[in-house]
Structure 1
Amino acid sequence: MSFKQSSEPSQKPRLQQNRIPLKRLHAELMTKKARHISEDAPEKKENLEDWFSRFPDDILIHIISGLTLKEAARTSVLSSRWKYLWTFTTSLDFDKKVKYMSFPPDYKQSKYISWVNKVLELHRGSRINQFRICFRLDAKHKCNITNWVSTAIAKNVRNFELDLSPGTYDNYYEIPQECYKNLQSGCGLSGIKSLRSLTLCAVNVTGEVVEFFIHNCPLLENLRITQSPDLLSLKVVGSSIPLKCLDIQFCYSIKEIEISAPNLLSFKYIGQDINLHVGSLPQLVDVVFHVTPMVQKMHCIGSIVSYLPQLKTLELDGCNEVFAQFSQREFPKLMNLNISFTAANQETLLGLSFIMKACPFLEKLVLQVNILVDYIQVEKFEIVIILVEAC
């Protein structure tokens, strides 16, 4: 058993990719060069650029796409052939939230926008594997943001993330109606056919817009929406929907979610009380569910109780009402259980014992305990219990 104290929530998930440090790349090239060059044959010696340039452009661009934008741009000094290769990179990750932290907001935003516009102006590639905007922007930057969205779609983006958090209250960016109409046209539809992952943070979208992407992106597997005040309801229903992961967080205006998707593996919801309607979810194995206020939890979670026997991972808020709902059921496949308590007491822990009895193959139990003083959270403890030792 291990104890871990935490004062901050875990960081938001982000798109991951392999990064190749430029120094490591250079060292590997030098090693390969030494291996192929004999000291007693000086006439066969070639400089590093000539040796490495034997690779076709596609391979070099693939290597460059594993670098950060800053590292990729540095390769332009290697030789005349390399000068513009970086502009064909398929990875455009514009993450600079920390870089200008000590400067005024307007200056930071101006520098960030100039950087993105400059790179997109130079970019020559016809396709983009990853496009990521990660900076605090809002509706006053509407023109630039819309141009970025249009550029990414025109280049058949596969993984798209627009993270403008924390945004500006009552001034979130929203996709203009004209841009939405363009998406519905022939060119727009062809541009989103390659989309596999879509993340929108601090972006105002309606249920109509989200459902448009769900039903018109035949490869879309991951969808994440956070901080969208205009999202009032969402319907994810269809036998041909390829969606595997659905993540809805902090959309405090949403009242209703309906889900019936045969390929869905993971569902995450964090927010206020909603009407949750669940249809066919034969492959659902991972559920994260946190709802406030606490007294309304059972109203929401009752819809997914029938799917609990097939779950492998479950995370939710714990209270006696929740435990009572589960006390007569079994969880034959559940391996990871994460429960959050507020001011845990003897009764709550007794209720937890009912779930433990119903989980014969549980491998890991995580208890997050929130201690309140005058209704203010002052401390958060995490208790991790490993029930099965790794082989």
Structure 2
Amino acid sequence: MFNTVKYLVNNLRTSAKDDSNLGKRRESEDKHNYLVDRISLLPYEVLVSIASLLSLKEAAATSVLSRRWKNVWKYTTTLNFQDLDLFVGDNFYCLKLLEENLRDEKSRKYVDWVDRVLVQHEGHTIERFKAFFFLNNIFKNSIDKWIEFAMQKRVQVLELQFFIKQYDFTIDNYEFPQNLIGLGGEGEYSNHIPTQHLCRYNNVGFKFLKVLRLQQICLTDEVLEYFLSNCPVLERLTVTVARGLVCVRVVGPSISLKYLAILDCPNLKSIEICNPNIASFVYMGACIDLLINNVPLLIEVHISERALHYVDFTTVAFNRLSFCLSHLEILKLNISGVVYNPNYDFPVLENLKQLELNVETNYQWALYHLYSFMKACPHIHRLILKLEFQTYVETIVSKAPKFSHHSLKVVEIMGYRGYQCAVEHVVYLIENVVALEKIIIDPVRRWIWPPGMDRGTEMVKEEVKGRKHAKEHLKERVPSTLEFECL
């Protein structure tokens, strides 16, 4: 049914374009009118559900389908204000950078668009509200009203992803309105975290909030703790480039959070997690104090600390994860540029099923590092290596000891280039993994360049060379018993 409505909306744009065959055009119009009449007989709440699956622009376009559809879009439960003309990925680095003299103009048009839609919205609740654009504190009055609107409508998924000029930290980020959640007026900080009844919307607030994503927003420790303490069904929290965060604490059995991601917060000093419900944790940024305890359900961890290059990061990481290593199932670590410590006795990760490593393949002890991880993970089924090259000069990589791994089934090599050091990583795995069934070679560095992003001519040329090398030279070194796939 959803696809039928989508077809009808698209047909509105194309039916008048071709006058070359009047008979076909009339036949198309008859089919269109028949489908509209049939769908319009559905209960009104079903029509709203269908409109909620469409993009906002498509949902608004349904208003001309028939009289019954005229106001359906105003009750949509999904308000996704993501500008498709700019969007090429779900990450700041995946946005086309606008020329500065056009950015403010487009930002104002974007804010006007959101304001107009919210004024016309007549539904009592919304499931999702997403704002995704170049916005800062200049637009604070409007954005405050958006958040107020979301609170009134009992929002379940709130995503405020704003962007400023790359690496320009002089621009004022949007400041989260503390007065809306009972933390005092603008610029004021209370000495306690309020309970729900102190919020202006004491009967609603964010008590229905399940997912929260905040990006490049001025967010304090107090505001974050408010969300953790006063959102009883909040399960997923992602905070990116929040300069106000210093000490993040996820502590207490009453916190329902299951997924936590803290990314690139420049002033962050520490994260403390003592929460029996959390199942997945992601941290990317500078080296910080990381305290993890009482996390019996934690099965997935992803840590990438850039400042730990050229130190024994593996020892540091495993020591800090000591309370959860025994039950981890997915582990993702960035070990590119870190020192290999031959004297460190790796703990055995008995339950680990998937291992992802960012590795510097032309590091002299790279294969020793890989060997140590493989020995420590005897039961993994999937290994993903994200290849990085600090220099493009070939380096002699020391041969690592041989061993037999009996569980690994699939190896995926991302960012492949036709360097000897990269080939040696693949060959080492082929020779030592007894149960290996499939090797996937992907020249694209997808952890940096999500789908749809323009990677530039030079990068694409490197990928083409890597793909060609894999097909012409690497494939011949793969036994016929293994499935070889080059993306």
Partner of 1:169: 169
* 1:238 corresponds to 2:252: yes
Deviation at 1:211, TM superposition (A): 1.0
Identify unmatched segments of 5+ residues in structure 1.
Answer: 1-18, 28-45
Partner of 2:213: 199
Change (3 A) 1:95 1:357: same
**Structure 1 CA distance, aligned partners of 2:133 and 2:385?**
33
Partner of 1:179: 180
* Structure 2 residue identity aligned to 1:114: D
Deviation at 1:25, TM superposition (A): 6.0
Encode CA deviations 1:219-248: one digit per residue, 9 max, x unaligned: 100000000111001110011211110000
**Residue 139 of structure 2, aligned match among 131, 141, 146:** 141
Partner of 2:297: 283
**Structure 2 CA distance, aligned partners of 1:200 and 1:80?**
39
**Residue 104 of structure 1, aligned match among 102, 105, 116:** 102
**Structure 1 CA distance, aligned partners of 2:271 and 2:49?**
40
Partner SS for 1:94? strand
Partner of 2:46: 59
Deviation at 1:166, TM superposition (A): 3.6
**Structure 2 CA distance, aligned partners of 1:67 and 1:82?**
14
Deviation at 1:87, TM superposition (A): 0.5
Partner of 1:262: 276
**Residue 349 of structure 1, aligned match among 367, 384, 387:** 367
Q: Tell me how large the CA RMSD over aligned residues is.
A: 2.9
Partner SS for 1:127? coil
Encode CA deviations 1:126-184: one digit per residue, 9 max, x unaligned: 11101000001001111111111111111000000000024662311111332332874
Deviation at 1:47, TM superposition (A): 4.6
* 1:312 corresponds to 2:329: yes
Change (3 A) 1:324 1:352: farther
**Residue 69 of structure 1, aligned match among 45, 53, 56:** 56
Q: Is the 8 A contact 1:92 1:132 kept in 2?
A: yes
Deviation at 1:23, TM superposition (A): 4.0
**Structure 2 CA distance, aligned partners of 1:323 and 1:76?**
68
* Structure 1 residue identity aligned to 2:271: I
Large movers: runs of 4+ above 6 Å: 383-387
Deviation at 1:365, TM superposition (A): 1.4
Rg larger in 1 or in 2? 2
Identify unmatched segments of 5+ residues in structure 2.
Answer: 11-32, 87-95, 184-195, 394-413, 417-421, 439-482
Partner of 2:13: none
Partner SS for 2:53? coil
Q: Is the 8 A contact 2:129 2:150 kept in 1?
A: yes
Encode CA deviations 1:5-38: one digit per residue, 9 max, x unaligned: xxxxxxxxxxxxxx857444679xxxxxxxxxxx
- The answer to which structure, 1 or 2, has the higher relative contact order (CA under 8 A, 6+ apart) is 1
Deviation at 1:305, TM superposition (A): 2.8
**Residue 330 of structure 1, aligned match among 348, 366, 382:** 348
Encode CA deviations 1:48-106: one digit per residue, 9 max, x unaligned: 44432221111110111000001101110011111001100000000116359578112
* Structure 2 residue identity aligned to 1:307: C
TM-score by length of 1: 0.81
Q: Is the 8 A contact 1:273 1:300 kept in 2?
A: no
Q: Is the 8 A contact 1:323 1:352 kept in 2?
A: no
Change (3 A) 1:71 1:97: closer
Partner of 1:363: 381
**Structure 2 CA distance, aligned partners of 1:344 and 1:240?**
47
* Structure 2 residue identity aligned to 1:69: L
Partner of 2:239: 225
TM-score by length of 2: 0.66
